Amino acid sequence: MARIAVLPPAVADQIAAGEVVERPASAVKELVENALDAGATAIDVAVEEGGRLSIRVSDDGVGMERDDALLALERHATSKIRTAADLVGVASFGFRGEALPAICSVCRLVIETAPADGAGTAIHAAGGVVSEVRDVARRRGTTIVASQLFYNAPARQKFLRGARSEWRGIVDAITMVALTRRDVRLTLANDGRQALALPSAATLRDRVAALWGASVADRMVDVEDVRGAIQVSGLAERPGDVGTASRRTFLTVNGRPIRDAGLLRAAEAAYKSTLAPGLRPSLLLDVVLPADAVDVNVHPAKAEVRLRDRWVVERCVEDAVRRALGTFDASAALGVRRWSPTAPAWTTARPADVELLRPAPSPTNGLFEPRGDDAALGGAEVEVDVGASLSDESWRPPEPVFPKPPAPEPVPTQHVPPLFQLRRTYLMFEHEDGVVLVDQHSAHERVLYERFMGMLERGEAPSQRLLFPLTLHLALDEGDAFERDRDVLTRIGFDVERFGDVTLVVSSVPMPHPRFDAERCLRETLAALAGDRSPSAHARHERLAATVACKAAIKAGDELSPAEMRALFVALGETRLPAHDVHGRSTIVQLSWPELERRFGRQ
C-alpha cells in the first residue's frame, strides 16, 4: 500500500491559506493590497470583532468582468505576471495569485465588482466553493466581505487572539499601507465606529502627523540622499528626542513595506556617538534601487526581500541618515517647532541641505550671508568685537586654544555671526530662525572625536615630543587597559613605553590645542577605559577616541577669546554630526523666535 498520497484540493488550499492568512490582519493586508494593485484612490475598511466576525474592504479601483471575477478565485490566477521573467522587477504588491483563493478557502466570501458604474457581478463562496453568481447594480470598483474566518478550520480558529489584539494587528497593517501609499485616501472602522480617516497626503511628514499627531512629526528630520542608482528618503528622529516617546520603525524597498533588521541596523549606525547607550531611534525610510537588484519573491507574505548587493545598500542608508543628522534641523530645540501640514518643520522656505555650521564657499549661502553693513563694504569680512563673556569680570585674553596655521592659503571669506560666551560655558549667536546656543565643551569634543577617528582611519599620528618624558604610575586594571589599547593610543599620537608592571613613560603626545594637559588626559582616559569589555576592536577604537576627545576638549568654565570662539564655530561646522557630542548630549540648542515672542506675550 502506498504511503505517499496527493492531498485533496481542500486540504492543500487550507495549507496554502496558513502561509498567507495567519490572522485577520493578514487578510486585511492582502485585500487592501489587491485594491491598490487595481488602481484604487480611496479604500474603506470595516471590521467586526477585530476581524474575527467579518472584514469588509471597498475600493474605487478597476473592477472585474464576471469571467475575471470567477477566475480570480482559482489558485495561481493573476493579472500581474505572465512569465517567470516578469518576476524580476515586479512592481505590484501581489503577483502569485494566491491571496484571494487562500482567503476564500477558510471563510465565507462575497465579492461585488463592476468595471464601470452600472451593471456588476456578485459572487458568493464558502470554503473555496462558489455557491452563487448573480447580477448587481453598483459603482465602479470592488467590495469584498470575508466573514467567519477559519469557520471550517477549528484548529486554526482556536489560535486566534482576542478581538482587541486582532484589532491592533489590523491597525498596524493599515498603518503600513497608509505610510507606503500616501496618495490614497483610507478609512478604517471597527464595530461601526470609525477609527481612522486619512485623506491623501503630499508628504510622509503629513501622513505621520495624521496618524500619530503633529508632535511625532515635529521630532523627525528629513532624510533625502541619492548615491548612484540608490535613493534613500524618509524621516529620522532627532537624537535629542530619542527616548521621549514610543519608537516607530517603517521601511520600504521599491515601494514595498518589508522587515529588514540589517537595513535598520545600518540606519541606527548613523546615530553612533549621538545617543546614550540603550536608546534606539524612530526611523521611517523609503529605499529605491534598480528592479534587478532586489528579489521580492522570497517570503510567503512578501514581508522580506533579498538584496543583490546588501553591503552597498546598507552603506547608502547609513550615509543618508548620517547626512540628515548633520544638518541644523537635527539640533535640539526649546519650545514648539514651527510645523504645518504644508511644509517641513523649522525650515519652511529653505532647501533641506542648508546647514547651520557648514562652511560656505561664498557669501551667497543664506546662513552666512553678510548683514546690511557687511554688504555695504562689498562683502568683506568684518572683524566683530564680540566682547564675549557676558559677566561682570573684566576680560583678559587667555592662551589661545586654536593656534593660527602657518601661512594659510587664501580661501573664500566665511562670514561668522557675532558670537558671545555665556557663563564661560556656552556660545550664543543669532540665527534667522531664532537664538542658538552651543555648548563649548560638547562642540570641541565632537571636533576632536572626528579628528581622532580620522587619524585612526588614515594612520596619521601627528604628535609633539616632550623635552622631559612623563612618568605615570597606574593601577593594575589601568595597566591592562593600556596594554589592550596601546596600538590605538600610538595611532592618535601617544608614544608610551611600559616600565615595570604599573609604570608608563610618555615621550610624545598629541597636541589638539595649546591648553592640552597630556598627563591628565592620558591618566583619565586609562581610568575610564579600565574594565571596558567592548567585544570588537572597532568598538574599542571608537570608545577610546571618544574618551580621549572628552578628556582633551576644553571644559566648561574655560574663557575663550573672540578668535577662539570663531575657530571653534568653524571647526564644528566642518564635522559630520555637529548637533550632538559623543555621549548623546545636544551640542546645539535652538530657541525659536515664535517661542520667545510667546514667552514675552507678543503672540
Statement: residue 356 has pLDDT above 60: no
CATH number at residue 319: 3.30.230.10
Whether the pLDDT of residue 440 is over 80: the answer is yes
Whether 231 maps to a domain, the answer reads: yes
CA atoms within 13 A of residue 313's CA, in its CB half-sphere: 23
Q: Does 153 lie in the same domain as 248?
A: no
Q: What is the mean pLDDT of residues 555-582?
A: 89
The phi and psi torsions of 139 (rounded to 5 degrees) equal -80, 165
Residue scoring higher pLDDT (547 or 56): 56
Q: What is the mean pLDDT of residues 455-477?
A: 78
Residues 62 and 186 in one domain: yes
pLDDT band at 519 (very low <50, low <70, confident <90, very high): confident
Mean pLDDT of the chain: 78
- DSSP H helical segments within 42-185, as ranges? 66-71, 99-104, 154-157, 163-180
Q: Which pLDDT score is estimated for 391? A: 39
pLDDT digits 0-9 by tens, 188-210: 999 999 999 999 999 999 999 99
Report pLDDT for 85.
56
Examine residue 479 and state whether it is found in any structural domain, yes or no: yes
Q: What is the pLDDT of residue 232?
A: 95
- Looking at residue 153, its pLDDT comes to 81
Contact 137, 118 (CB under 8 A): yes
Give residue for cell 455557491: 131
Burial 346-356 (b: 16+ CB within 10 A, else e): bbeeeeeeebb
Given a cut of 90, is residue 100 above it in pLDDT?
no
Q: Is residue 30 part of a domain?
A: yes
Which pLDDT value is given to residue 579?
Answer: 87
- Of 434 and 366, which is predicted with more confidence? 434
Shared domain check, 257 and 211: yes
- In this prediction, residue 506 carries a pLDDT of 86
Predicted local confidence at residue 240, as pLDDT: 83
Strand partners, 443: none
**Would residue 335 count as lying in a domain?**
no
Res. 501: pLDDT tops 50? yes
Of 78-92, 244-258, 339-353, 451-465, the poorest mean pLDDT is in: 339-353
| pTM, entire model | 0.69
Percent of the chain with pLDDT over 70: 77
pLDDT at position 388 is: 39
The range of the structural domain enclosing residue 113 comes to 9-82+93-198
Residue 286 in any domain: the answer is yes
Query: Nine-digit cell at 518?
Result: 597630556
Summarize the confidence of residues 347-364 as an average pLDDT.
34
Give the distance from CA 367 to its chain's centroid. Answer: 25
- The region of weakest confidence among 38-47, 80-89, 102-111, 113-122 is 80-89
Residue 315: which pLDDT band, with cuts at 50, 70 and 90?
very high
Specify whether 172 is located in the same domain as 155: yes
pLDDT at 15 over 70: no
Number of domains in the chain: 3
Give residue 372's pLDDT: 39
Distance (Å, whole) CA 178 – CA 185: 8
pLDDT value for 432 = 85
Q: Are residues 147 and 245 in the same domain?
A: no
Given a cut of 90, whether residue 367 has pLDDT beyond it is no
Q: Per mean pLDDT, which range of 272-286, 310-324, 499-513 is the poorest?
A: 499-513
More confident position, 514 or 431:
431
The domain that contains 478 carries what CATH number? 3.30.1370.100
Bridge partners of 55, per DSSP, are 47, 146
Residue 213 burial (10 A CB sphere; 0-12, 13-18, 19+): exposed
Same domain, 159 and 246: no
pLDDT band at 72 (very low <50, low <70, confident <90, very high): confident
pLDDT at 343 over 60: no
* Per-residue model confidence as pLDDT tens digits over 382-404: 343 433 333 344 444 445 544 45
Q: Of 310, 330, 350, which residue is a domain's last?
A: 330
Q: In CATH, what number is assigned to the domain containing residue 46?
A: 3.30.565.10
In the predicted structure, residue 313 carries a pLDDT above the cut 50: yes
Does residue 586 belong to any structural domain of this protein? no
Whether 522 shows a pLDDT value over 50: the answer reads yes
Q: Is the per-residue pLDDT at 246 higher than 90?
A: no
The count of residues in the chain is 603
pLDDT for 381 beyond 60: no
Residues 101 and 146 in one domain: yes
pLDDT in the model for residue 2: 65
Q: What angle do CA 9, 13, 43 make, to 5 degrees?
A: 140
Whether residues 182 and 223 fall in one domain: no
State whether 117 and 55 are in the same domain.
Answer: yes
Question: Most confidently modeled of 67-76, 81-90, 239-248, 422-431?
Answer: 422-431
Domain boundary among 536, 552, 568: 552
Residue with more model confidence, 555 or 488: 555
Between 414 and 187, the higher pLDDT residue: 187
The answer to whether residue 250 is domain-embedded is yes
Q: Which residues contact 89 (CB under 8 A, 6 or more apart)?
A: 291, 292
Residue 135, domain member (yes or no): yes
Domain identity same for 232 and 295:
yes
Task: Check residues 327 and 92 and name the one with the higher pLDDT.
Answer: 327
Q: Of 197, 201, 277, whose CA–CA distance to 539 is shortest?
A: 277
Q: With a cut of 80, say whether residue 9 has pLDDT above it.
A: no
pLDDT for the residue 287: 93
Is the same domain home to 153 and 225?
no
Averaged pLDDT, 439-457: 87
Q: Using the predicted structure, report yes or no on whether residue 314 has a pLDDT greater than 60.
A: yes
Given this model, what pLDDT does residue 105 score? 86
- Helix intervals (H) in 385-465: 440-458
User: Of residues 539 and 160, which shows the higher confidence score?
Assistant: 160
The pLDDT score that the predictor gives to residue 379 is 36
Query: Residue 441: what pLDDT?
Result: 92
pLDDT at 121: 93
- What's the gap between Cα 43 and its chain centre? 28
Q: In what order do the strands lie in the sheet with 495-498?
A: 464-473, 503-509, 495-498
Q: Pick the last residue of a domain from 330, 365, 393.
A: 330
Question: Is the pLDDT reported for residue 360 higher than 60?
Answer: no
